[in-house]
Each structure stands twice: as structure tokens, then as C-alpha cells.
Chain A
Amino acid sequence: MTPMLASFDPPYWLSTVIKVLVVGAVVPTTALILGVVFLFKIMSWMQSRLGPQEAGPRGLLQLLADGVKFIQKEDIAPNGADLWVFKAAPLVVLSSTLLLYVALPASAHLVVEDLDVGVFYVLAISSLSVIGVLMAGWASANKYSLMGALRAAGQLIAYELPMVLAVIGVVIQAGTMSLNGIVFAQNGGAVFGWTGIGNPYILTQFIGFFIFIAAVQAELTQPPFDMPVAESEIVSGYQVEYTGFRFLIFFLAEFATAFVFAGIAAVMFLGGWAVPWLEASSDWYYVLGPAVLFAKVMVVSFIIFWVRFTYPRLREDQLQSFAWKFLIPLALVNIVATAVLKVVF
């Protein structure tokens, strides 16, 4: 089967259509999986309750039922809202998420576009969702929305820096910004000359991993960094006026972004789609790669959601000083240490 897959070389237009369809199908599916597994089930178990039970086996289809409910609802916009901007905002957020999936490799060839600057691309595109959030907050003509959007912008700007700086350590070690290149570098690496498990960068870049996960948590505006959508202070912030399928788009984008960031973290720190005891150039990865990546993504997502369900919300000033006074200096020290060690070894 693998040689047939390898020789499949469709014309440009056909491959583009296939890629668009695959991304269009993968994004809602991943959001659905994370929503059901973590938001409904694991959160319930952590809080000693059962979670949804009625829809489907063990309530696993609850989110699908919710999705249908959202789509059926009336499309309401507030009277004072700026209609065009109000309606476009969720789409801006969603398109930023869709573009993130372009760079995520599920095996050496199973990637929408294997960019030479993959890491850089991901960081640049992830900063676009702020525009959508600000549009939503402003166009709703509601002071809670506005406050939420301002909080979101301040938070996303503050946590973009540690995220970029955390990634630099990995880029220095791998010597490439291509996400596939980073996977190959980890698969072919060695821990002090021992090649048994390659060199997953979580061993050497554990500080980078910690900073990256903390920054991802903040970028997703999840607890303990959920001040922009704090329901008890500003009634869900910029999302407060959205209902029906527009709210569904925000929801979808949040969980799909969580999945893709967990995927990027898995690629950069856990060896991506490769397993250590099988060469990264092996043809087996055509079928094995996506499964391996999915398993690693679920592990990273579990960490992200575990923190989400167990920590209380920080205060706004604590959030800012955590980024500027702790994460950024730590990331800079990490970069210097990595660079020095790279030259020494």
C-alpha cells in the first residue's frame, strides 16, 4: 500500500482541492474530539461527576447534539452593533485557526505545505486571531465585550513573546525552522551518544516546553488565564453578544486551536510523528505517522486541560507580571544557555 501512496502525485489543482477538503474535515473533528474527551468527560471525572450520559453511548454524542442545537438557533445581533464587523469577527478567528493547520505535519509528506519557515509561520499566523477578538469586542457595542477584548489583546500580546522566545531554543538545537526538519533532527539525535530514543527536545528544552505550554494556555484564554472571557467578572467578555452558529464558530476555533498548538508542541518537543526505534525516513510513517502524532497530541492536550480544570483564575496584574517578569527572563536565559551549549558540544 505504501508504494502506491508514495507514487500518488496529482496535478496542482487536484492536490489543492484535496488539501482544502482534508483541512475542512480535520478542523471540526479535532475540536469535537477535544471537546468530548476533555471538556465533557475528563473534566467531569476530575470533579467527581459523570458528565453527559444521555446522547449516544456514554453520552459521547452530546457535543454533536449541542452543535445541532447551536445551528438551529436564531442569528441575533445587538441593535447598536456594527453588523459587518460583528459578523466577520468569528470568521477571522476561525481562518487564523485553519491557517495554523497548514503547517502541522502528520508525517514527512502528509502535510498541507511543508514550509521552510514552519515554526515562524505558526507564530505569525497565531497572532492574527487577536484581530478577530478585537473586532468582536468592539462591534458588539457592549462595555463588557469591549473590556474583554482589551483584556484579550493585552494578554495575547504579552504571551506571544514568551512563546516566540521558548521556540528559539528548539530552533537553535535543531538548526532548522522547518517543522519536519525538527522531527528528523529529534529522530536522528542522540542523548550523550546513546541513540536508543533519539533526542526528543523535551529532555534538553524542558524549560522551553514549560514556557511554551504556559503561553499556549494564555493564548487560548483558558483558566488560569481566562480573564478575557471571565464569566463571573465580565460575563464572557467579547463572546457575550454571540449566539447560535457564530458562538459555535468561536467554540470550534478555540478547541481546534488547542489541538493544533498541542500538535506543534508535540512536533517540537516530543518528536512529532516519529517514534524513536523506527527511522524517520521509513515508509511506515505514511500510515503510522498520523496515529503517533495523534497519541502525542492527546498527551499534551491532557496537560493543557488538566491545568485548565484545576487552577483558579489569576488576577490581571498577576497575569501580566507572570509573563513579563518571570516567563520572558526565563526564556532569555534558556536561549543563552542553549546557544552556549550548542557551541560547546
Chain B
Amino acid sequence: MLALLVAQNIAFYIIAALMVFGALRVVTCKNLMHAALWLVLVLAGVAAQYILLAAEFVAITQVLVYLGAIIVLFLFGIMLTRTKTGTDDNLNNSAGARRMAALIGVLLAGVMGYSLWDGFGKREFGELTVQRTAEVSDSIFSTYLLPFEVISILLLAALIGAIVLARRD
């Protein structure tokens, strides 16, 4: 058990380092298309972390939704609007916006770090059990049925809203 967790920790830090590097490149590189492709690395890293936590179903959902749909939508949108290769010099924001972004980033990291430390700081890592998909679906459709339905309605409303916004007549 201990040996397994050592391997997991090493894998976690390798993947986490890759994700941080990818995330930095997303905001620093000078080409929108490259930024979107670096984002692929970050989102794939999230899926890999889920697999390390033995949550197959969540990991595959991450791949299907984020890599298969959202990234493709990003790439599609970028290709329809700005399609040139090479660097783009108009991507920098003004100094004020940068300061604001830095402030929000620090605040967010502080709040999330504090709450995670406060909530889980003394928690020992329990035994990892592989999460069966049948159990996930059982709990979604019994214990969490109401939130599930509410989310469905929310998504439906968003869909209808998008159609209303996009219609010309």
C-alpha cells in the first residue's frame, strides 16, 4: 500500500508540474492557437490526476467534455476568426488590467489554499478504492436526483438562451 502511494505521489508531482508549465504557457504565449493547445495539456493533466485518484468515470468524462468538446469549440472559434500563424502582438492587456488580474489571482489562490488547508489539512489519505461506475450512477439517480434534475433544467435554459441570442429574426 505504502509503495503504491509513493508511486502515486511521484506521478502526481510530475503531472502537476506539467500542468503548471502548460497553464503558464497558456497566458504567456503570443499566439491564440498555441494558447488553446497548451490548454489541452492542462485539461489532460486534470484527467490524469483523476485516474491517479482511481476515479475512472470522472476522468473519462473530463476527456469527453473538456478535450473532446470545449477545446474543439475553442479551436473552431479561433480558426473561424483569427487564422494567421506566427506571433500576434496585439494580445497584451493594458497595465491596469494586468494589475487587476494579478490581484484576483492572488486573492483566489489565498482563499482556496486557506480553505483547503483548513478543511483537509489533518486528513490522512485513506485506502484508495476504485470507484465503480454503477455506484456513481446509483448515487446520482437516488441521493442526488434533485440536484441532477436542477442542473439539467439549467443547461436546457442555457441552450434555449443561446438559440434566442443567435436567432436573427
Chain B 60-75 interface 0/1 with A at a Cβ cutoff of 8 Å (1 = within): 1101100111011001
User: Is B76 engaged at the interface, CB distance under 8 Å to the other chain?
Assistant: yes
Q: Chain A, interface size: which category?
A: 20 to 34
Count of residues in B whose CB is under 8 Å from the partner chain: 26
A131 with B85: CB separation less than 8 A: no
A177 with B133: CB separation less than 8 A: yes
A134 with B76: CB separation less than 8 A: yes
Query: Beyond A117-B133, A120-B57, A138-B83, is A125–B63 a contact (Cβ under 8 Å)?
Result: yes
B34, B63, B80: the one within 8 Å of A150 (CB): B80
User: Is B46 engaged at the interface, CB distance under 8 Å to the other chain?
Assistant: no
B63, B69, B76, B85: the one within 8 Å of A139 (CB): B85
Q: How far is the CB of A272 from chain B (nearest CB, A)?
A: 20
User: Is A211 engaged at the interface, CB distance under 8 Å to the other chain?
Assistant: no
Q: Residue on B with the closest CB to A176?
A: B134
A81, A85, A124: the one within 8 Å of B68 (CB): A124
Q: Residue on B with the closest CB to A135?
A: B37
A157 with B63: CB separation less than 8 A: no
B85 with A150: CB separation less than 8 A: no
A115, A117, A131, A146: the one within 8 Å of B67 (CB): A131
Contacts of B60 in A (CB 8 A): 117, 120-121, 124
Q: Residue on B with the closest CB to A99?
A: B63
Q: How far apart are the CA atoms of A117 and B62 in the complex, in Å?
A: 14
Q: How far apart are the CA atoms of A80 and B83 in the complex, in Å?
A: 12
A116 with B133: CB separation less than 8 A: yes
User: Is A82 engaged at the interface, CB distance under 8 Å to the other chain?
Assistant: yes
Query: Beyond A116-B56, A127-B64, A127-B69, is A81–B85 a contact (Cβ under 8 Å)?
Result: yes
Contacts of B83 in A (CB 8 A): 138, 146
User: Is B79 engaged at the interface, CB distance under 8 Å to the other chain?
Assistant: yes
A81, A120, A134: the one within 8 Å of B79 (CB): A134
Q: How far apart are the CA atoms of A37 and B68 in the complex, in Å?
A: 32
Contacts of A241 in B (CB 8 A): none
B80 with A115: CB separation less than 8 A: no
A131 with B56: CB separation less than 8 A: no
B63 with A128: CB separation less than 8 A: yes
A137 with B79: CB separation less than 8 A: yes
User: Is B40 engaged at the interface, CB distance under 8 Å to the other chain?
Assistant: yes
A120, A131, A146, A154: the one within 8 Å of B71 (CB): A131
Contacts of B72 in A (CB 8 A): 127, 130-131, 134, 153, 156-157
User: Is B48 engaged at the interface, CB distance under 8 Å to the other chain?
Assistant: no
Q: How far apart are the CA atoms of A134 and B73 in the complex, in Å?
A: 11
Having A120-B61, A124-B68, one finds 7 other A-B pairs with CB under 8 Å, namely: A80-B85, A117-B56, A120-B64, A124-B61, A124-B63, A139-B85, A146-B83
